[in-house]
Amino acid sequence: MDRTLQSQDRYFLPRQSFQSLIDQLALQGFSCVGPTMWDGAIIFDRLDTVSQLPQGVSDRQAPGYYRLESGGDSRWFSWANGPQALKPYLFPSREVLWEGTVDENGGLSFKERLTEPEPLAVLGVRACDLAALAIHDAHFLKGPSPDAHYARRREQLFIVAVDCSHPASTCFCVSTGDGPAATRGYDIALAELDEGFIIDAGSDRGKLILDQLPLSEVNEEQLDQTRSELDAAIAGQTRALPEGPLNRILFDNLDHPRWDDVAQRCLACGNCTSVCPTCFCASENEVPSLDGLSSEHSREWSSCFTQGHSYISGHAIRPDTRTRYRQWLTHKLGSWIDQYGRSGCVGCGRCIAWCPVGIDLTEEVGAICRESGDE
Amino acid sequence: MSNAALTHGGHISPHSPSLKSRMPMVAEVIDRIQESDKIFTLRLSLHNPEQRQEYRFTPGQFNMLYLHGVGEVAISIASDPDEPHILAHTIKMIGRVTKAMDRLIVGSQIGLRGPFGQSWPLIQAEGGDILVVTGGIGCAPTVGVINYVLMRRHRYGKLTIIQGVKHADDLIWRERYDYWRTFPNTQVLVAADHGGPLWPFRVGPVTEVFDDAGIAPDDTTVMMCGPEGMMIAGTKDLLERGVPEQRIYLSMERNMQCAVGHCGHCQFGAQFLCRQGPIFQYPDVKPLLGIKGF
């Protein structure tokens, strides 16, 4: 059952006591990361005190547009999302997997380069990010070859989610079924009110932290307030993915003229795949030392928008932007369903806001569905 | 103060045995055969006796071979699965890694991860005829199949090997074709798009050779490997001859980086070639086969 409708096991944490949550996490051995303002955007960074939180700040997002502005209240979470999700904390943009060394006789040896990640608590995780995390868990951990690097970081991750009461114009998590309230996959979840937070635990670890906080009973008025804010957040979303079996519709329309149209606008820069919380493509690269004796084998985020992504035997399977955009969209919204039982899109809208030319995937897929008579 | 109960999420233990290392094993070049100007075969042996003992593969699977300081490349295993201590890989110099691998000599050490992927349906095909259709370097991944069948000749019906090449000069292993012909109930047919002086075989597309093959459509398992254009034409022709879709297997090739289904490069629609492939039953790849961009 939706936790936002229940009052049992939900408590009230006054705003002036919020620091105690950060302190408790630190006391229990976690490095704490949370939303901070940097270079005009909200990004996750080390969080020691509430004074680092973006107080009274809201974000305005539109296709190709992201600006912070005064939010008109003194809350800390009156914004939708920044360019990052949890992705960089579990699947870093570059990491060394192993290292090869040659001795003077040409003898080769290998050394594992597994990190020992510290316990990490991320505060301010959105419902869309939790949905993306569940997708990456399925991708990196549930297959026949679980990834040790991801597993170690995942093991150490503690999640403090915050319901999203201020979706941006680019958000459409309602249509993907992933938000705006955090409903699963967190250790602690918060709903922000002017005077403080409604708080509940989603795991035994979360309960242990809650036990240490100065909590009081939550009252009906406070619950009503969060419910109506969530209702407004739901009603306020203007974008949506089209209904219908998008895997079938997209693959039935591989020759649709819209692919040519979007290829005229798309720069194939890969911004969308960088900010997408579910894009998992990575290339494996070799970085030899100057003396050539050792060489680091790393994996780095890569993008299906690059020429190298589809390189094989001297040519590229996807030589142009049309085939690359089509690959991205048909995978994200189509074949992903066949692979993981759900769409690869969680409705966070980042690819829309951070696209330098403002391409909107809901618009693109909508056009294909409309013009093919599937909507 | 760190609380172990708190900082341990319990999702998947980082020390779980299922978290196998992605690190390569050390392999030594024990033999190197120059097949043509640009094609060579490396016979490899794993350096560590325990790893050598444990290593098993089935024909059609591939390894990731690693050249120090240069990188990895996916190469199918061409040798016999019953001799898994010797792993033959036939390599064509095309890209950065394969060109650098040309410098390897007997005694050189390289890295090896594997085996990965699905294999040819050699168990299911027992009792029936086998038709191997290859083109270009496509012959390399099927050499393992051919040798496998020849070594176990009584388990299979007629073996037909059809090799198509662009130009007569591209045909490697000419002696091997002659040798294979000496086996009972084994037919070897070769065609080149462009012949040359003294070219004794057919000139024309590989599909024309099907006429000479006497294919029994209900009793033949087809294993095909080569350029996609050739496989598409070959499949179309065989379907017209009445071979059921499910009896046609194709070996596909895409960019490979991780080989464990994580890096995303080898995706073909919903399929990860490194995991669900590289050998596919035709119906599994049919919808996107031949569509440019997939």
Q: What average pLDDT does this structure show over A28-50?
A: 97
The answer to whether residue B205 scores a pLDDT higher than 60 is: yes
Q: What average pLDDT does this structure show over A49-64?
A: 97
B135 and B278 part of one domain: yes
A261 and A220 part of one domain: no
Q: Compute the nearest-CA separation of A204 from chain B (Å).
A: 8
B107 and B181 part of one domain: no
Last residue of a domain, one of A201, A235, A269: A235
Last residue of a domain, one of B88, B116, B144: B116
Q: Return residues 132-171 of A near B (CB < 8 Å).
A: 137, 139-141, 143-148, 151-152, 154-158
Q: pLDDT tens across A235-265, in order?
A: 999 999 999 899 999 999 999 999 999 999 9
Strand (E) or helix (H) holding B135: strand B129-135
pLDDT at A254: 97
Q: For residue B265, what are the domain limits?
A: 129-285
Pick from B108, B265, B285, B288 the residue to mutate for testing the A interface (most A CBs within 10 Å): B265
pLDDT confidence band for B6 (50 / 70 / 90): low
Please, are residues A197 and A20 in contact by the beta-carbon 8 Å criterion? no
CA-based nearest residue to A255, from B290, B150, B56, B111:
B290
d(CA B60, CA B251): 8
A200 and A300 part of one domain: no
Instruction: Answer yes or no: is A141 within a domain.
Output: yes
pLDDT at B166: 73
| Interface check B17 vs A, CB under 8 A | no
Q: What average pLDDT does this structure show over B209-219?
A: 90
B274 and B225 part of one domain: yes
Instruction: Answer yes or no: is A272 within a domain.
Output: yes
Q: What average pLDDT does this structure show over A254-277?
A: 97
Could you tell me which chain B residue has the CA closest to the CA of A320?
A: B293
A228 and A302 part of one domain: no
A330 and A199 part of one domain: no
Instruction: Answer yes or no: is B147 within a domain.
Output: yes
A78 and A172 part of one domain: yes
The answer to whether residue B2 scores a pLDDT higher than 50 is: no
| Interface check B275 vs A, CB under 8 A | yes
Instruction: Answer yes or no: is B154 within a domain.
Output: yes
Please, are residues B223 and B131 in contact by the beta-carbon 8 Å criterion? yes
The answer to whether residue B18 scores a pLDDT higher than 70 is: no
CA-based nearest residue to B250, from B211, B283, B218, B220:
B283
Mean pLDDT, rounded, of chain B:
89
A139 and A160 part of one domain: yes
Number of domains within chain A: 2
- B53 CB contacts (<8 Å, ≥6 apart)? B85
pLDDT at B197: 66
pLDDT at B13: 47
d(CA B119, CA A171): 44
Instruction: Answer yes or no: is B88 within a domain.
Output: yes
B108 and B134 part of one domain: no
Q: For residue A118, what are the domain limits?
A: 3-93+105-235
Instruction: Answer yes or no: is B242 within a domain.
Output: yes
Mean pLDDT, rounded, of chain A:
95
Q: What is the largest CA-CA distance in chain B?
A: 83
pLDDT at A29: 95
pTM across the whole model: 0.94
Q: What average pLDDT does this structure show over A32-46?
A: 97
pLDDT confidence band for B199 (50 / 70 / 90): low
The answer to whether residue B4 scores a pLDDT higher than 70 is: no
B108 and B225 part of one domain: no
Q: Compute the nearest-CA separation of A300 from chain B (Å).
A: 9
Instruction: Answer yes or no: is B5 within a domain.
Output: no
The answer to whether residue B10 scores a pLDDT higher than 90 is: no
Instruction: Answer yes or no: is B66 within a domain.
Output: yes
pLDDT at B19: 67
Q: Please name the member of A27, A112, A254 whose beta carbon is closest to the beta carbon of B1.
A: A27
A200 and A114 part of one domain: yes
Does B6 contact A209 at a Cβ distance shorter than 8 Å?
Answer: yes
Instruction: Answer yes or no: is B17 within a domain.
Output: no
Does A28 contact B3 at a Cβ distance shorter than 8 Å?
Answer: yes
| Sheet architecture: strand order including B186-194 | B202-203, B186-194, B159-167, B129-135, B220-225, B248-251, B279-281
Q: pLDDT tens across A152-193, in order?
A: 999 999 999 999 999 999 999 999 999 999 999 999 999 999
A204 and A281 part of one domain: no
Last residue of a domain, one of B82, B116, B150: B116
B111 and B44 part of one domain: yes
pLDDT confidence band for B5 (50 / 70 / 90): low
Last residue of a domain, one of A235, A256, A282: A235
B140 and B271 part of one domain: yes
Q: Compute the nearest-CA separation of A189 from chain B (Å).
A: 16
pLDDT confidence band for A1 (50 / 70 / 90): very low
The answer to whether residue B140 scores a pLDDT higher than 60 is: yes
Q: What average pLDDT does this structure show over A183-208?
A: 96
B112 and B133 part of one domain: no
B180 and B219 part of one domain: yes
A290 and A366 part of one domain: yes
B272 and B143 part of one domain: yes
Instruction: Answer yes or no: is A98 within a domain.
Output: no
The answer to whether residue A314 scores a pLDDT higher than 90 is: no
Instruction: Answer yes or no: is A137 within a domain.
Output: yes
pLDDT at A373: 67
Number of domains within chain B: 2
Instruction: Answer yes or no: is A69 within a domain.
Output: yes
B82 and B195 part of one domain: no
In order, the DSSP letters of A235-277 are: HT----PPSS-HHHHHHHTTT-HHHHHHHHH-----HHHHH-S
A174 and A310 part of one domain: no
A115 and A136 part of one domain: yes
pLDDT confidence band for A2 (50 / 70 / 90): low
Last residue of a domain, one of A235, A268, A283: A235
The answer to whether residue B136 scores a pLDDT higher than 90 is: no
Q: Return residues 45-84 of A near B (CB < 8 Å).
A: none
Q: What average pLDDT does this structure show over A278-299?
A: 96
The answer to whether residue B195 scores a pLDDT higher than 70 is: no
Does B109 contact A107 at a Cβ distance shorter than 8 Å?
Answer: yes
Residue with tokens 């898994």: B84
pLDDT above 70 covers what percent of chain B? 88
CA-based nearest residue to A106, from B26, B231, B34, B140:
B26
Query: What ipTM was reported for this prediction?
Result: 0.93
The answer to whether residue B198 scores a pLDDT higher than 70 is: no
The CATH number covering residue B29 comes to: 2.40.30.10
pLDDT at A362: 98
Q: Compute the nearest-CA separation of A19 from chain B (Å).
A: 18
Instruction: Answer yes or no: is B254 within a domain.
Output: yes
A225 and A181 part of one domain: yes
Last residue of a domain, one of B75, B91, B116: B116
pLDDT at B257: 96
pLDDT above 70 covers what percent of chain A? 97
Instruction: Answer yes or no: is A55 within a domain.
Output: yes
Q: Return residues 79-118 of B near A (CB < 8 Å).
A: 94-95, 107-111
Q: What average pLDDT does this structure show over B137-166?
A: 87
B75 and B187 part of one domain: no
Does A155 contact B8 at a Cβ distance shorter than 8 Å?
Answer: yes
Single-letter amino acid, residue A208: L
